[in-house]
A and B are shown apart, each in its own frame.
Chain A
Amino acid sequence: MDLFLQFLANGLVTGTFYALSALGLTLIFGLMRVVNFAHGEFYMLGGVLGWFVTAHLGLDFFSGLVLVAVVMAGFGWLVDRVLIERVRGQGEEPGILLTIGLSIFLANTALLLAGTAPQKIAGPLPNAPVFLGPVVLTEMRIFAVAVCAALILGAHLLIKKTKLGRAMRATFQDPMAAQLAGIKTARVYASTFALGSVLAASSGMLLGAIYSAQVTVGGIVSLKAFVVVILGGMGSFAGAIVGGLLLGVAEAFWGGYVSTGMVDIIGFIIVILTLIFKPYGLFSARAERA
Chain B
Amino acid sequence: MKLERNSLLILAALAAVFPLLVTDQYLLHIGIMVLFYAVLASSLNLIVGYVGEFSLGHTAFLGLGAYTAAILSTRYGLPMWATVPLAGLLSAGLGSLIGAITLRLQGPYFVIITLAFAEVLRIIANNWVGVTNGPMGIAGIAQPDILASASTLFAKRFYFYIALAIAGVALYLAYRFVYSNTGRAAVTVRENRYVAQSVGIQPFAYAMRAFVLGAFLAGLAGGFYAHYISFVGADVFRFSFMATMIIMVLIGGKGTLLGPLVGALLVTLMEEYLREAQELRMSIFGLIVMLVVLFLPKGLMGFLTLRRERRGDQGDAPGCTPHVQAQGGAA
Contact = CB atoms under 8 A, between A and B. Distances in A.
Contacts of A100: 56, 243, 246, 289
B57 to A, nearest CB: 11
A261 B115 CA distance: 20
Interface residues of B, number: 36
Interface in B44-71: 54, 56
Contacts, number: 110
Interface stretch (B104-112, B176-184, B302-310): B104-112
B123 A94 contact: no
Interface string A258-271: 00011011001101
B326 interface: no
A112 interface: yes
Nearest to A103: B286
A92 to B, nearest CB: 5
Given A97-B250, A269-B120, A275-B113, A102 B282 contact: no
B239 interface: yes
Main SS of chain A's interface residues? helix
A262 B113 contact: no
Contacts of B111: 35, 96
B255 to A, nearest CB: 12
A233 to B, nearest CB: 12
Interface residues of A, number: 40
Given A87-B293, A102-B286, A109-B283, A279 B109 contact: yes
Interface in A54-98: 83, 86-87, 92-94, 96-98
A261 B239 CA distance: 21
Main SS of chain B's interface residues? helix
B108 A268 contact: no
B113 A271 contact: yes
A112 B280 CA distance: 7
Given A86-B294, A268-B120, A272-B101, A101 B112 contact: no
Interface of A: 29, 35, 83, 86-87, 92-94, 96-98, 100-109, 111-112, 219, 223, 226-227, 230, 234, 261-262, 264-265, 268-269, 271-272, 275-276, 279
Given A93-B54, A106-B286, A275-B105, 4 more contacts: A86-B294, A107-B286, A108-B279, A230-B109
